[in-house]
Amino acid sequence: MKHFSKDHEWVSLDGDVATVGISIHAAAELGDVTFVELPETDESVEAGAAVSVVESVKAASDIYAPIAGTISEVNEVLEDEPEIINEDAEEKGWIFKLTGVDASALEGLMTAEQYAEFIK
Amino acid sequence: MNYDPQVNKREAAKHYIPASDADIQAMLDHLGCETFEDLYSHIPKDVRFESDINIPKSKTSDDIISEMSAIANKNNIRTSFIGDGLKAYKVMDVAGPVLNIRSLTTSYTPYQPERSQGTLMTHWIYQSLLSQLTGFEAVNASMYDRATALFEAIKCSMRILTKRNKVLVFDSIYPGDREVLNTHAEHTGLEIIWVKGNNFSKNGSIGLDELKAAAAGIEDDIVSVAFPQINNVGTVAKVDDITDYVHEIGALAIAVIDPLLIATGGLKAPSKYGQEGADIFVAEGQHLAIGPNFGGPGLGIFGIRYNDKCKKFIRATAGRFVGDAKDINGRDCKLIILSTREQHIKREKANSNICSNEAYIATVCGATILNRGDKGLQESVEISRNLALKSAEVLSSFKGVELAFPEAAFMNEFTLKLDTSVSKLISSALESDLQIGVNVSDRIEKDSDSYLMLCFTDLHSENDISKLEEFFSNHFEKADNNFKPVALPACQLREGEAGIAHYSAQEIEDYYKELGTQNVSPDNAIYPLGSCTMKYNPYLNDYVAAFDGFANAHPQAPESDVQGCLEVIYETQEYFKAITGLPGVTTQPLAGAQGELVGVKLFQAYHQDRAEKRDIILIPKTAHGTNPATAAVAGLVTKKFNGIVEIESTEDGEMDFDRLKECVDEYGERILGVMVTNPNTSGIFETKFAAMSELIHSVGGLVYMDGANMNAIAAWIDLGKMGVDAVHNNTHKTWSIPHGGGGPGDAFVAVSDKLIPFLPGIQAVKKADGQFEIAHAPKSIGSFHRHEGNFGHKVRCLTYLKALGHDGVKRMAAVAVLSARYLFSRLENKFCVLPTGNKRDKVMHEFILTLPQSTFDKIVEAGIPKALVISRVGKLFLDFGFHAPTVAWPEMYGLMIEPTESYTKDELDRFADAVLALFDLIDENPRVLLTAPHFTPIDRVDDLTANKRPVMAETISELPEVLPNRFNLDKIWAMDIPTVKETILKAHEDARI
């Protein structure tokens, strides 16, 4: 199940690994993505820290860690094919994974239904 | 070149203002104003000048020519062997004609690619040629100068290797560059470790042992090592060893080179250093394009590797890149790419605060490289090298004269050790009409006066060596010649040919003129880019700047030989003191963005001097992205702390004063200062500016005014009375310097008494005997240019100031405001206004319009996303034969229009008619925006592919094809507006979608 932040990131938890990306809505707002600046692995990040940047031709958007954790993996495919974010933002377009996360942190985020209401 | 005042009606007009008295009266009447005074009636009286500012009255072009030529003649242009930080090479025949292609020199940065293919192609050629010479895949469209390019290179390396934090730089780079690095590093936490580059280890490996010693124990912390290919005493460094060692410790190698000397027959290109080549290179390129011009405009060259191994480096760079692109119908074209790195998008997170570059010098550089071609470049290298060898042999045969570094190889510049005082010898050489070189003693031995460095280029001949020999024979006895030159080892030299194509001056001139037809110029019609002040750029400025005495003065020539240059700087200081109402001026800044940086650094130095630590700067939310980016470059924003506090605006478009008060209460003595543009970025005067200054001063903070919009208020508003502590003016906006397709820009910074002791660069001081001397501020923050800034532009600026005089400056500002307000009154009923509370009687020199909601709805229905509507509307301006206004900034849905004072009422009316017709066109046929622009050489550019897969160079084996305008601009200008509208509609109907 996905949770969403007010900054339009989604996070999905599998065991203690959280996968993070941007919402389909955010990807559409941003327009065609030209570049994704991926974070460095092994870095521990606070919730709300700017860890990555998604760029279109004329805009650059910071991507924040929706919950705290340690970056364990990044989606390197995006380096060569940033358009995956536009094509499949909430599955293949994941950006990074966090380990050592606290599942209760998800409580501060929105459910898919709440997020759908939020972006109306 | 001759000066012809009839070349353009604007040139011949009084104060370069072509509007007649009747025009002006008609516009005033239309607005219900009686005099110019009424245009400023909403501004508090207590910040106005009470009388005319204290500068001379306007002068005629004849008077200016004779006055300025007398000043130029005070410079002594002698046979010179001064090279050092700025070489002087032959200026190619093609440079003059290319410098005179007005639609290229006077146009703006090519942000509208469909109407700027001319500019984009000149940059593409430059990038490609430098790429070919150096072997680097990506060379940007230029930077200010070598010194600032080196600083940007270091910052870039730190963004690539984020986990390391120490930077090593050889101290054998030129002293001017060293000072610029130190100045920039101050307060930023950047630690530069200087490596003794001129020491000689036993194995003759210049600097390598010292590098290893400096790196010992901190190898894993070192981000990058910057080193020159030729040290500042003329010796050639062992670049292979240095590069390999830098890579061995996992750091990045930054090479500082002379691009001319790596041509065929010259030294090794930086991509070939060691096993893998350098990672970044920087260079000065002024000498490839133009004469010394007392140091500037320069040409900072920056290149970075871009291949499968290091694809991401490019994202860490500053500066503009031109990329290969296609339009939506598959035509080849060019485009500015990777813009998201820049301040106008990323603000304080941008890679740099720099907005302008030295675009036009780069353009001329590209043209002159093509004019030299491979053979010409090789010839220049060989002449320089051979003359240096010959001269070293001749001079070292005198008793008491020897090569300072007999075991080291040199290229075309070498250092002699003399048994007499070098400073005295340099002075006495002036009597023989020689500038014999640079005293480099302090680079080699503390407190010595024995080392002289001489430089030889393709400007010299055997005859010049004879002159040197004769001079030396008057001071030294002849002895046996035991000269044994150290050969340059093959590993230091270029392998094979660079393969640069060659074209005649005529071919190049014709080609660049053709490129010019793809642009528009303020010469022909309103160039309505808001915030850019695209006014007319007088020919007279260029004519005067080209005087031999100015163009060929070297910035390191003895003070007595550059009295004319110092007089220009002195007069410029005095004029701008009067214009701003502030008591101190530095003429060094290279552009507005650098002026801001000077300002913030002055604030930091002032507070530090008072032992105060302040870390907060207040900046309005509406500020141009450069302001926050500048604060970041100055060190006020780090990874962990953002010292910028944003102030919102109220509905009327002015800064929210209540919010400001809250911030002052909250941050108090933590406030370093404020940075406020006035008139602000919406073209509205901040009427509470003086009260704001008082509030900021009450907590010890300082006030920076961004003077980008000075064109509206010069000679009307006294900045001293407003409480300004520092202000910059972009001389390429208000003071008529051409924009050059992106640069060179130019600026000055004026300051209050508090900041005078900290000013950077030189001050020109007039002595009692009328002579000029150089002084330095006692607590100077340092230097922002390898020499004294873009001097050639100071000449242009001063020429303009003399033509305007106190009467003209005041009239310039008033007519700029009058023109904007008149235009606004003709458009305000059809469009909506932003900010929504703005009113006609508050409009200064520019204003922002947007479309009514109903029109937006129709366009969105036609298939254009709302976010793209305004930029598409901008494309339709191109079809009417104009450049676009500023689109989507500072208001996302805004069109910002600034007409300037350079147009008649008829021209303003034609523009207004066009904008009204344009409105009707999109309101009636919104689908026209799907196919616009229709008459430019290309259709709308596909910016997505160009940005996703950047290509920044090609091998120039033939001059790239120039696509013709699909509809001739002259024809559009000759049509009445309804006909233009019909023609656009027809083109739309015929267009492929």
**Which residues, at least 6 apart from B283, have a Cβ–Cβ distance to it below 8 Å?**
B146, B149, B256, B257, B258, B259, B300, B301
Q: Which residues of B touch A83 (CB under 8 A)?
A: 948
Report how far Cα B359 is from the mean position of its chain's Cα atoms: 8
Secondary-structure percent of chain A, ordered helix, strand, coil, rounded to 5: 25, 40, 40
SS3 B601: helix
Please check whether residue B127 is in contact with residue B321, taking contact to mean a CB–CB distance below 8 angstroms.
Answer: yes
The C-alpha atoms of residue B615 and residue B667 are separated, in whole angstroms, by: 10
Q: Which residues of B touch A55 (CB under 8 A)?
A: 340
The C-alpha atoms of residue B472 and residue B464 are separated, in whole angstroms, by: 12
What are phi and psi for residue B220, nearest 5 degrees? -75, -10
Among B111, B313, B947, which would you mutate to test the A interface (most chain A Cβ atoms within 10 Å of its Cβ)?
A: B947
Q: Is the pLDDT of residue B407 over 90?
A: no
Q: Is B307 on the interface with A (CB under 8 A)?
A: no
CB contact under 8 A, B340 and A83: no
The C-alpha atoms of residue A108 and residue A118 are separated, in whole angstroms, by: 14
User: Running DSSP on this structure, what letter comes out for residue B404?
Assistant: S
Query: Where does the pLDDT of residue B993 fall: very low under 50, low under 70, confident under 90, or very high at 90 and above?
Result: low
CB contact under 8 A, A58 and B162: no
Among all chains, which residue has been given the structure tokens 């303020």?
B522
Q: Which of A31, A37, A58 sits opposite B345 (nearest CB)?
A: A58
Relative to beta strand B763-766, strand A44-45 is unpaired
Q: Which residues of A touch B328 (CB under 8 A)?
A: none
Q: Is B866 on the interface with A (CB under 8 A)?
A: no
> What residue type is assigned to position B364 of the chain?
V
pLDDT for B554-580, tens place per residue?
999 999 999 999 999 999 999 999 999
Q: Which residues pair with B748 in a beta bridge?
A: B729
Q: Which residues pair with A64 in a beta bridge?
A: A50
CB contact under 8 A, A60 and B345: yes
According to the model, what pLDDT value does residue B482 have?
76
According to the model, what pLDDT value does residue B483 have?
82
According to the model, what pLDDT value does residue B813 have?
98
Q: Which residues pair with A98 in a beta bridge?
A: A18, A71
Residues belonging to chain B: 993
Among A43, A54, A57, A61, which would you mutate to test the B interface (most chain B Cβ atoms within 10 Å of its Cβ)?
A: A57
Please check whether residue B94 is in contact with residue B510, taking contact to mean a CB–CB distance below 8 angstroms.
Answer: no
Summary mean pLDDT of chain B: 96
SS3 B845: coil
pLDDT for B651-698, tens place per residue?
999 999 999 999 999 999 999 999 999 999 999 999 999 999 999 999
SS3 track for B732-779: CCCCCCCCCCCCCCCEEEEECHHHHHHCCCCEEEECCCCCEEEECCCC
Q: Is B52 on the interface with A (CB under 8 A)?
A: no
The C-alpha atoms of residue B341 and residue B347 are separated, in whole angstroms, by: 9
Q: Which residues pair with B236 in a beta bridge?
A: B230
Among A35, A41, A52, A76, which would you mutate to test the B interface (most chain B Cβ atoms within 10 Å of its Cβ)?
A: A35
Q: Measure B631 CA to nearest chain A CA, in Å.
A: 20
The C-alpha atoms of residue B360 and residue B591 are separated, in whole angstroms, by: 14
Higher-pLDDT residue of B922, A57: B922
Q: Is the pLDDT of residue B202 over 90?
A: no
Q: Is B767 on the interface with A (CB under 8 A)?
A: no
Please check whether residue B932 is in contact with residue B944, taking contact to mean a CB–CB distance below 8 angstroms.
Answer: no
According to the model, what pLDDT value does residue B205 have?
62
Q: Is B867 on the interface with A (CB under 8 A)?
A: yes
Give the residue on A whose Cα is nearest the Cα of B640: A49
CB contact under 8 A, A35 and B339: no
Q: What would you measure as the largest C-alpha separation in chain A, in angstroms?
A: 38
Q: Measure A60 CA to nearest chain B CA, in Å.
A: 6
Q: Measure B865 CA to nearest chain A CA, in Å.
A: 10
What are phi and psi for residue A10, nearest 5 degrees? -110, 155
pLDDT for B313-356, tens place per residue?
999 999 999 999 999 999 999 999 999 899 888 899 999 999 99
N-term to C-term CA, chain B = 48
Return the number of other C-beta atoms located less than 10 Å from residue B217's C-beta. Answer: 8
According to the model, what pLDDT value does residue B524 have?
95
N-term to C-term CA, chain A = 21
SS3 B95: helix
Residues belonging to chain A: 120
Percent of chain B with pLDDT over 70: 99
According to the model, what pLDDT value does residue B204 have?
55
The C-alpha atoms of residue B131 and residue B834 are separated, in whole angstroms, by: 45
Return the number of other C-beta atoms located less than 10 Å from residue A71's C-beta. Answer: 22
Residue B420 tokens, joined = 């007499």
CB contact under 8 A, A55 and B340: yes
The C-alpha atoms of residue B663 and residue B680 are separated, in whole angstroms, by: 20
Percent of chain B with pLDDT over 90: 93
Of B764, B673, B775, residue with least CA distance to B726:
B673
Q: Which residues of A touch B163 (CB under 8 A)?
A: 40
Q: Which of B162, B315, B339 sits opposite A58 (nearest CB)?
A: B339
Please check whether residue B171 is in contact with residue B237, taking contact to mean a CB–CB distance below 8 angstroms.
Answer: no
Query: Where does the pLDDT of residue B198 fall: very low under 50, low under 70, confident under 90, or very high at 90 and above?
Result: confident
Relative to beta strand B300-304, strand B138-139 is antiparallel
User: Running DSSP on this structure, what letter comes out for residue B478?
Assistant: B
Q: Is B640 on the interface with A (CB under 8 A)?
A: no
Of B26, B93, B152, B115, residue with least CA distance to B633:
B152
Q: Measure A14 CA to nearest chain B CA, in Å.
A: 30
Q: Measure B660 CA to nearest chain A CA, in Å.
A: 27
Q: Which residues of B touch A34 (CB under 8 A)?
A: 340, 944, 947-948
Q: Which residues of A touch B866 (CB under 8 A)?
A: none
Q: Which residues pair with B365 in a beta bridge?
A: none
Q: Which of B162, B345, B948 sits opposite A59 (nearest CB)?
A: B345
Q: Is the pLDDT of residue B215 over 70?
A: yes
Among all chains, which residue has been given the structure tokens 């909506």?
B832
User: Running DSSP on this structure, what letter comes out for residue B40?
Assistant: G
CB contact under 8 A, B944 and A35: no
According to the model, what pLDDT value does residue B335 have?
97
Of B597, B558, B574, residue with least CA distance to B80:
B558
Q: Is the pLDDT of residue B741 over 70?
A: yes
Of the listed ranges B340-344, B522-526, B830-834, B856-860, the least confidently predicted one is B340-344
Rounded to an integer, the average pLDDT of B168-184 is: 97
Please check whether residue B304 is in contact with residue B318, taking contact to mean a CB–CB distance below 8 angstroms.
Answer: no
Q: Is the pLDDT of residue B842 over 90?
A: yes
Q: Is the pLDDT of residue B863 over 90?
A: yes
The C-alpha atoms of residue B234 and residue A4 are separated, in whole angstroms, by: 62
pLDDT for B777-826, tens place per residue?
999 999 999 999 999 999 999 999 999 999 999 999 999 999 999 999 99
CB contact under 8 A, B340 and A82: no
The C-alpha atoms of residue B143 and residue B156 are separated, in whole angstroms, by: 14
According to the model, what pLDDT value does residue B486 have?
84
Burial of B924 (0-12, 13-18, 19+ CB in 10 A): exposed
Q: Is B345 on the interface with A (CB under 8 A)?
A: yes
Reported ipTM: the value is 0.91
> What residue type is assigned to position B539 of the chain?
Y
Q: Which residues of A touch B344 (CB under 8 A)?
A: none
Report how far Cα B204 is from the mean position of its chain's Cα atoms: 39
Q: Which of B162, B315, B349 sits opposite A35 (nearest CB)?
A: B315
H helix runs in B396-504, sequence order: 422-431, 441-444, 462-473
CB contact under 8 A, A35 and B346: no
Q: Which of A34, A37, A62 sits opposite B947 (nearest CB)?
A: A34
According to the model, what pLDDT value does residue B639 have?
83
Please check whether residue B163 is in contact with residue B269, taking contact to mean a CB–CB distance below 8 angstroms.
Answer: no
Q: Is the pLDDT of residue B829 over 60?
A: yes
pLDDT for B50-105, tens place per residue?
999 999 999 999 999 999 999 999 999 999 999 999 999 999 999 999 999 999 99
CB contact under 8 A, A58 and B349: no
Q: Is B315 on the interface with A (CB under 8 A)?
A: yes
Among all chains, which residue has been given the structure tokens 């870039």?
B156
Q: Which of A40, A57, A62 sits opposite B944 (nearest CB)?
A: A57
According to the model, what pLDDT value does residue A16 have?
87
Return the number of other C-beta atoms located less than 10 Å from residue B480's C-beta. Answer: 7
Residue B70 tokens, joined = 């007398």
Q: Which residues of A touch B865 (CB under 8 A)?
A: 31
The C-alpha atoms of residue B116 and residue B118 are separated, in whole angstroms, by: 5
Q: Which residues of B touch A30 (CB under 8 A)?
A: none
pLDDT for B10-43, tens place per residue?
999 999 999 999 999 999 999 999 999 999 999 9
Give the residue on A whose Cα is nearest the Cα of B867: A29
According to the model, what pLDDT value does residue B481 have?
74
- Count of alpha carbons within 13 Å of B5, Cβ hemisphere only? 12
According to the model, what pLDDT value does residue B2 have?
86
Of B269, B202, B256, residue with least CA distance to B224:
B256
Please check whether residue B140 is in contact with residue B317, taking contact to mean a CB–CB distance below 8 angstroms.
Answer: yes
User: Running DSSP on this structure, what letter comes out for residue B846?
Assistant: -
Q: Is B944 on the interface with A (CB under 8 A)?
A: yes
CB contact under 8 A, B944 and A34: yes
pLDDT for B750-782, tens place per residue?
999 999 999 999 999 999 999 999 999 999 999
According to the model, what pLDDT value does residue B13 have?
97
Q: Is B162 on the interface with A (CB under 8 A)?
A: yes
Q: Is B423 on the interface with A (CB under 8 A)?
A: no
The C-alpha atoms of residue B215 and residue B219 are separated, in whole angstroms, by: 5
pLDDT for B949-986, tens place per residue?
899 999 999 999 999 999 999 999 999 999 999 999 99
CB contact under 8 A, B345 and A34: no
Size of interface A-B (CB pairs under 8 A): 35
**Which residues, at least 6 apart from B238, have a Cβ–Cβ distance to it below 8 Å?**
B204, B205, B206, B207, B208, B492
Rounded to an integer, the average pLDDT of B586-593 is: 97
Q: Which A-chain residues 7-66 have CB contacts (< 8 A) with chain B? A: 31-32, 34-35, 37, 40, 55-60, 62
**DSSP for B952-985?**
-----SSPPP-PPPSS-HHHHHHS-HHHHHHHHH
CB contact under 8 A, A60 and B867: no
pLDDT for B91-121, tens place per residue?
999 999 999 999 999 999 999 999 999 999 9
CB contact under 8 A, B162 and A40: yes
Q: Measure B93 CA to nearest chain A CA, in Å.
A: 40
Of B654, B800, B946, residue with least CA distance to B61:
B800
Query: Where does the pLDDT of residue B881 fall: very low under 50, low under 70, confident under 90, or very high at 90 and above?
Result: very high
